Amino acid sequence: MAPPSRHGMMNPRILQPLCLLGAALVLLCFISGHAHSEDAAGCHCFRNRSYDPGDKFAVDDYLRATAVNSLVSRYFGVSKRDIVMMRMNGVPLEELLTAFYIGKAGRMDHREILKLRSASLPWAEVVIRAGLDPESVEPGFGRILDRGDRHVVEHLEDATLAYFFSTEPAEIIELRMLGLDNVRDRVLALGLARKLGLSSRNLARALKEENRSWGEIAAGAGLVPEHMGSYIESLGQG
């Protein structure tokens, strides 16, 4: 063993590796805990995972994330852990969903799609470089690509929800028009409407006009937040 320094401190040649090891262990613990907490929750750690009537909006972000992650995992056959890790690596949800959809329809690995997209190529160019016929993704998809990336993302989000919930695209589009611009909110509206036996239109209006929270609506449907993911999975098809 190396002797201590003359000031009673450990030799710097020993201290430096120990400091590096300690820092690595701290980082590993952080990543492990972060990933575990996000298996159901998406790209953020959520402190509030239960409904509190006194703070009715506190659990909404958790519900949004766990609902959409569960849908994406079930429909596209990707583990929630993989979804979380990709989100943690900076891939936005809309990019993931679009890549998963194109990859599934074109029978390609979504990682290849994301690799092409990471070069800042528009989605139309990604499809071309992937060697895919737009019609193999979806009939009329070439026209959607011609309208630009925003239309591609919106169209494939709506198509995914329509297929998953076995509904018409018009229902999804109406929810967007009612102010549910975020795909996470549309997933919750469609899922909870079916649980409550309501139309998703009326549920969206109650959310907006009556200032209701997703936690409040889920509680009224008898769903605790920790069961939201499995409930959403049970509704759809892969």
Distance CA 129, CA 106 (A): 13
74 C-beta neighbours (distance < 10 Å), count = 20
Domains of the chain: which residue ranges?
A: 13-235
pLDDT value at residue 236: 85
Write the pLDDT tens digit of every residue in 148-179.
999 999 999 999 999 999 999 999 999 999 99
Write the pLDDT tens digit of every residue in 31-78.
333 333 343 334 457 888 899 999 999 999 999 999 999 999 999 999
pLDDT value at residue 25: 38
In this prediction, residues 168-194 reach a mean pLDDT of 95
The pLDDT > 90 percentage for the chain reads: 75
Mean pLDDT over the full length of the chain: 84
In this prediction, residues 182-188 reach a mean pLDDT of 97
DSSP string of 121-185?
--HHHHHHHTT--HHHHSTTHHHHHHT-HHHHHHHHHHHHHHHHTT--HHHHHHHHHTT--SHHH
Interhelix angle 149-164/169-177, nearest 10 degrees: 120
DSSP H helical ranges for the chain: 12-38, 60-76, 80-88, 93-106, 110-117, 123-129, 134-137, 141-146, 149-164, 169-177, 183-196, 200-209, 214-220, 228-235
* Model pTM score: 0.79
pLDDT value at residue 44: 53
pLDDT value at residue 47: 83
pLDDT value at residue 238: 59
